[in-house]
Amino acid sequence: MIYNTLPHTDIEVSKICLGSMTWGNQNTEEEAHEQMDYAVGQGVNFFDTAELYPIPAHPDRYADTERIIGSWFQKNGNRDKIVLASKIAGKAEMSKFIRTTGFTPESIRGAVEGSLERLQTDYIDLYQLHWPERHTNYFGKRGYEHDVSDHWKDNIHEVLQTLRDLIREGKIRHVGISNETPWGTMRFLMERKVHASLPRTITIQNPYNLLNRLFEVGLSEIAIREKVGLLAYSPLGFGTLTGKFLGGMRPATSRVVLYPQYDRYSGETAVMAIEKYHKLAREQGLSMAQMALAFVNTRPFVTANIIGATSMEQLRHNMASIDVKLGEDVLKGIEDIHNAIPNPAP
């Protein structure tokens, strides 16, 4: 395993972070425990979850993923060996059964305390805002279009104050953002620069993969210059970058078949790009999935690559990507495809 330091801390995390959003829906508690056991055995010490999980979000399954992780901690007694990240859900239609109040001090505090209880722990190492409260471009929206009905008032100072208080109480250790834009990221960073008592934003969890490299436009420079580590999610583009959907194949248990609303990486242009990446991997004697994951691992702004799986076979294969080194000819081939079909799936 390769390890990186979480920016502005002395905490070392595995370059491979174990994602958890299928646990409690596509995966049982027993299967999730098996995944965690295997990952730790391979040197993974970084888990990512959220109060919203499992996905798709549903009131009957609310926060079951956190409960599963909590039962694993209780069974193994190894909480101190894991760097644990979780998230508070923002205001959105899909999460209105959780709360409709947004990131008020009461909401943040209640969310943290609920997560701590479910996770059976006294602290969360990295606490993240799952997505912005304001109307902006995230979750597959490529560009920003101003919404005149958005009455969001800038409350970032207040949000950071609440998170600071929770840090002082020992309930969380560090703060991150997710699904953020360059403007939002700099807004959080500038608040800390002006008010030194507020916590520094140390990570950003955004999508990043061969089909979606929009992070490189604006955010990558911020990440490098300001030392905000990217926790890259969807590195396989909902599984499309495994090549398992090429030729009209539709695996019955795959997410894009079970939940057709997750079609971000299934458009015509995305399929064209996937076919080219698949050809490149085949010519280089590589697994397409491992090539896609290894590419993410090469990026200088990536602190951790969040991988998930619904089977142990998938998990073993994806985890092994940490040992895959891409030669210059492979990297050049990837850039040639990217330049021909840039960012086909935002």
- Beta carbons within 10 angstroms of residue 11's beta carbon: 18
- pTM of the predicted protein model: 0.95
The secondary element (H helix, E strand) that includes residue 3 is strand 3-5
| H-assigned helices in the chain | 29-41, 64-76, 105-119, 156-168, 182-194, 219-226, 255-258, 268-283, 288-298, 312-319, 328-340
Interval 132-178: pLDDT, tens: 999 999 998 999 999 998 889 999 999 999 999 999 999 999 999 99
Backbone angles phi, psi at 86, to 5 degrees: -140, 180
pLDDT of 93 over the 80 cut:
yes
Q: Is 53 a catalytic residue?
A: yes
Backbone angles phi, psi at 231, to 5 degrees: -100, 100
Interval 253-264: pLDDT, tens: 777 777 878 788
Rounded Cα gap, residues 218 and 220, in angstroms? 6
Q: How far is CA 267 from CA 237, 239, 273, 329, 338, in A?
A: 12, 14, 10, 28, 16
- On average, the pLDDT of the chain sits at 95
DSSP state letter for 204: E
Interval 7-61: pLDDT, tens: 999 999 999 999 999 999 999 999 999 999 999 999 999 999 999 999 999 999 9
Q: pLDDT confidence of 248, banded at 50, 70, 90?
A: confident
Q: Which fold has domain 3-340?
A: TIM Barrel (3.20.20)
pLDDT of 201 over the 80 cut:
yes
Domains of the chain by residue range: 3-340
Would you list the DSSP string of 225-275? HHT-EEEEB-TTTTTGGGTTTGGG---TTSHHHH-TT--TT-SHHHHHHHH
Higher pLDDT, 259 or 92: 92
Q: What percent of the chain has pLDDT over 70?
A: 100
Q: Which of 3, 38, 53, 62 is catalytic?
A: 53
Rounded Cα gap, residues 196 and 241, in angstroms? 42
Q: What percent of the chain has pLDDT over 90?
A: 89
Do 138 and 97 meet the contact criterion of CB atoms below 8 Å apart?
Answer: no
pLDDT of residue 333: 98
